[in-house]
Chain A
Amino acid sequence: GQSLEQPSEVTAVEGAIVQINCTYQTSGFYGLSWYQQHDGGAPTFLSYNGLDGLEETGRFSSFLSRSDSYGYLLLQELQMKDSASYFCAVRNYGQNFVFGPGTRLSVLP
């Protein structure tokens, strides 16, 4: 079967750095993606890791370790607008795209 695990909630203050971890179990793994979803909105793509290592996009970075079936999303210089739910998602060979349960990030002033 396939499963992904993320923390359910994370709280941090403006300007801080926060890391959201994701562990997964799947077969035929292609890569790991991250999505952001604000309340009432659609999920929006943040990053994708097909290979091990760090990908950086502005204030957001994402990391993947295929051997550990583990990845994380790193958010730097947190802003109030970063308060949202964050989902990791696995793309696998079965043409499937499975999402994790989501992590609700609250950024406090």
Chain B
Amino acid sequence: ETGVTQTPRHLVMGMTNKKSLKCEQHLGHNAMYWYKQSAKKPLELMFVYSLEERVENNSVPSRFSPECPNSSHLFLHLHTLQPEDSALYLCASSQDTTTGELFFGEGSRLTVL
């Protein structure tokens, strides 16, 4: 148990659906992240939030929309996805954006049909 909880663990959606991934951290951290992990590829940083403000957006398509309503919760809203978006989406948190230690959730395995 890392203190970072992601739901759902598995999600199957069609290309026209709208769904959301949820992440909650119980560690009192100030920074939260979304990463994408595809087969045979390194973890790709998607978004970084520090104190609820987005500080990094790595040229992610607009069909992915993050939301950070408070320092404990992070969402990734999904809309009109493509089959190549199928991947493991990992949420992580850290004390701040200078520390070298990230705490990851178990991930949400997304399949887009």
Contact = CB atoms under 8 A, between A and B. Distances in A.
A91 B100 CA distance: 6
Query: Do most interface residues of chain A lie in helix, strand or loop, or is the interface mixed?
Result: strand
A100 B42 contact: yes
B57 to A, nearest CB: 11
Contacts of A105: none
A41 B107 CA distance: 8
Interface string B19-33: 000000000000001
A102 B42 CA distance: 7
Contacts of B105: 42
Given A95-B48, A96-B45, A44 B99 contact: no
Interface string B33-48: 1010000011101001
Interface string A19-53: 00000000000111101000001111100111000
B102 A97 contact: yes
A50 B100 CA distance: 8
A98 interface: yes
Contact of B100 (A32, A95, A101): A32
Given A42-B105, A44-B104, A94 B56 contact: yes
Contacts of B100: 30-33, 48-50, 89, 91
A99 interface: yes
Interface in A77-109: 87, 89, 91, 94-102
Interface of A: 4, 30-33, 35, 41-45, 48-50, 87, 89, 91, 94-102
